[in-house]
Amino acid sequence: MHFSEHGELFSIDMLEILDLALPVAEESVAGFYKMSTSRWGRLRYDVRTAVDLLPHEQVGNAYAQVLRYVGMPWQRSTSAAAFTVYRICLQDSPILDRLRKSPFLELLPFLVYVLVHELVHVVRFSTHLQLFEALPEKRLQEERRVQEITGMIVGEISVPGLAPVCSFFSGPGGASVDLFEF
């Protein structure tokens, strides 16, 4: 295990597992929303782990959060040229802590679930199905809706160990919507 000011960090082996989980999550979310490869490619997002997070991108006990950034092309300064980029900020320490406390959960299916959840947010924000800026009660409703959609998507994914992860996230008191943030 590696530690830093960010807490416990994913090891190189764990980052390789993340590299396996991300395309599974991307393909599953794109399929659910019937997005072509070119349409999916127009989504602007990146995925970062704790070692690459800025201080404001780190959150308490949540497993991940999505942040929105507005960028400008290098040569243009008009607001019409602005673009939005979403950053999925995985929180290594809370994820690893959960896996340690719940030995029936495995990293690959856990990351698939978390990434599907966060990618659903990215799609919903990018396609204006949900506004990023929302009042607290609307944010809670959105988290519940995204949790429901995530359950539908992961129910169609064939990854060993995913069933216990789904049970964890849907079980009573197992994992509430406050474990994800936007």
Segment 112-139 mean pLDDT: 84
Q: 117 pLDDT exceeds 50? A: yes
Helical segments of the chain, H only: 12-32, 37-41, 92-101, 107-126, 136-154, 162-170
- Contact present, 30 and 40 (Cβ < 8 Å): yes
Residue-wise pLDDT for 35-77, tens only, equals 999 999 999 999 999 999 999 999 888 999 999 998 777 665 6
C-alpha distances in Å from residue 95, one per residue of 45, 72, 129, 167:
21, 33, 28, 16
| pTM exceeding 0.85 | yes
Q: What is the pLDDT of residue 72?
A: 72
